[in-house]
Chains A and B, each alone.
Chain A
């Protein structure tokens, strides 16, 4: 049974169609949800949480209908909203305990679970201080903790790294990954940062204008292409000439030299050409597709086919 399933899911706000007959089936894992602004990501999340009623079509979470079984769904779903929504004048401990109580945990269990999840997200002594004095990174952790406190099977994270600096982002991404593996739960991560999704997610859902655009494992988008990218400190032109003279198909792409890999011997051809010229070798790497290519309208060139087209 798929964890999340939608059939012909449609939501209209007056004349605006936020979702337009969306069909999807999501298997467990860490799932990246991407889409242009206005593509319907937030609407989808709200329907899955049972906060919005679809205009037509159905959605289920763990087999439960999002309209008829809203309360049951809330027991198994955690949600980390994007916007700043924390009360400034209570401590993290009090706030998360309160959220646990709202979810129906008895007082003692709520306290224990709170201590546990706050430790998991990396809040220690600070948890007794008022949230108002927290940094952005600490607030994000509290938001994650309250989403986890009732031990959900599915976690929906809306832009979890928004506003974080590079170190904070790395920590949050690591935390998301650990949450997925340690707790063995499914996470849906909505983000605009494709690099981030490539780093933590195993599966990609892309929606565009209320439709499903792509639904596939991340590895489908980032698979290797039959192109070797070679970077040398200087003498890229000489390298192209030398490779061409040896019968390889090579061309210059800004600072790099792109060579078509037609057989394994090509690696030796490249190595020998570089050694003969005596130019400093910076990098040799097989080109990979990138998620970003999904959003670029670049025309595929002869030696470097666009990743999406390699099926």
Chain B
């Protein structure tokens, strides 16, 4: 794949606008308020001739961001560069203003939940988390470990060996291990994998809560409806390149080459179709089995006129639904170019 017609990535440090006011939990080691927590400048990473990440630049501030992309797009490579496992082949990776590769002082501010199940089956949940706490040189490993285990709701099982845990529990113990040193930046690779519905809801709430308390969270996922529930900020990688970043609704608005689709159900679809067709903002109306399918290039104009037009036409509006504004549609538009 060659150059993607990038819909103007918006690399502004994203404020946690979507998550509301910042709560008062004290983050460790305060950073300069203006510096982005994560920054990539023209970063590339290749393995031999395989280019995993190609010329990627963006910056993230406090809040949750979903990292999306098809399998093999370079998501894990990107997370591993941020965690300091890998050096970029070109460009610069900065976490809290410093290069994480081989710099343990940066590791103190990073929590990573890897995709692989890298947990020792013979350790108890608590021991595993405590082990991480000691690795980070915490003064009170026991206390910190217990707090982290409580945070992910594993207190009842913390004295059992990890080998006896279900997938969802192993996933949560990994999160506890990554949270134990209260890092400023949390990186999660497919954190919802293997979790059951209730655990998923719990994990989403935990991520939202951590974001409101001033952390920067980047998590990869394939389940778009879940990403949408956690937040609206996304980074989309396609074949190693950054296809888009920012609020997915803003990204959608920038896709001016894509007409907006809206479906409508009303008391009299045919009459409404005639009335709508008279307006220049609308350039296609189709009568379908389930109602009307409208195409417009001026979404806001359409949104302003729809109620008035149906009133004038004497038609009752039963349903008005934007058909391609969801994260699912935006993702598809970005990937299938």
The 6 lowest CB-CB distance pairs between A and B, nearest first, are A280-B303, A37-B166, A275-B307, A274-B307, A295-B197, A275-B308
Give 1 or 0 for each of A136-163: 1 = CB within 8 Å of chain B CB.
1100000000000000000000000011
Q: Count residues on chain A whose CB falls below 8 Å from chain B CBs.
A: 43
Contact of B166 among A38, A280, A294 (CB under 8 A): A38
Enumerate chain B residues within 8 angstroms of A34, measured Cβ to Cβ.
Answer: 196-197
Neighbouring B residues of A286 by C-beta, 8 Å: 318-319
For B167, what are the chain A residues with a Cβ–Cβ distance below 8 Å?
37
Q: Check A296 against B332 for contact (C-beta < 8 Å).
A: no
CB distance B197 to A278 under 8 Å?
no
- Establish whether residues A284 and B317, one from each chain, have CB atoms under 8 Å apart when the complex forms: yes
> Does A169 belong to the interface (CB within 8 Å)?
yes
What residues on A are CB-neighbors of B201 within 8 Å? 292, 295-296
Interface residue B11 (Cβ < 8 Å from any Cβ of A)? no
Q: Which residues of B contact A167 (CB under 8 A)?
A: 70, 332, 335-336
Docked-complex contact A165 and B70, CB < 8 angstroms:
yes
Is B198 in the interface zone, CB < 8 Å from A? yes
**A251 to B70 alpha-carbon distance, docked (Å):** 40
Closest to A197 in B: B197
**A192-B195, A275-B308 known, 9 other contacts, Cβ within 8 Å:** A34-B197, A36-B196, A36-B198, A37-B169, A38-B166, A136-B71, A282-B303, A284-B321, A286-B319
A193 close to chain B: CB less than 8 A: yes
29 contacts between A and B (CB under 8 A): A34-B196, A35-B196, A37-B166, A37-B169, A37-B195, A37-B196, A164-B71, A165-B70, A166-B68, A166-B70, A166-B335, A167-B70, A167-B332, A168-B70, A168-B71, A169-B222, A192-B196, A192-B200, A194-B197, A233-B300, A268-B316, A270-B317, A271-B316, A272-B311, A280-B304, A281-B320, A282-B303, A283-B320, A284-B319
How close is B264's CB to chain A, nearest CB, in angstroms? 9
Across-interface contacts of B310 in A (CB, < 8 A): 271
Q: Which residue of the partner chain B has the closest CB to A161?
A: B222
The verdict on A195 contacting chain B, using a C-beta distance below 8 Å, is yes
Residue of B nearest to A291 (CB): B197
Query: In the bound complex, do residue B71 and residue A267 qualify as a contact, i.e. CB atoms below 8 Å apart?
Result: no
CA distance A36 to B69 in the complex (A): 28
Does B254 sit within 8 A of A, measured CB to CB? no
- Distance, CA A71 to CA B253, complexed state (A): 59
Q: Does A302 contact B (CB under 8 A)?
A: no
Does any Cβ of B come within 8 Å of A311's Cβ?
no
Which residues of B lie under 8 Å from residue A195 when comparing CB positions?
A: 223, 225
Does B321 lie within 8 Å of A283, measured CB to CB?
A: yes
A233 and B303 contact, CB distance less than 8 A:
yes
Minimum C-beta distance from B239 to chain A (A)? 12
B70 to chain A: closest residue by CB = A165
Q: Are A166 and B332 in touch, CB under 8 angstroms?
A: yes
Across-interface contacts of B316 in A (CB, < 8 A): 264, 267-268, 271
A286→B319 CA distance, assembly (Å)? 7
Chain B contacts of A75 at CB under 8 A? none
B168 within 8 A of A: yes
Report B314-337 CB contacts with A as 1/0, cut-off 8 Å: 001111111000001001100110
Chain B residues whose CB sits within 8 angstroms of the CB of A264 once the complex forms: 316
Q: Is B22 an interface residue (CB 8 A)?
A: no
Q: Does B284 contact A (CB under 8 A)?
A: no
B261 within 8 A of A: no
Contacts of B166 in A (CB 8 A): 37-38
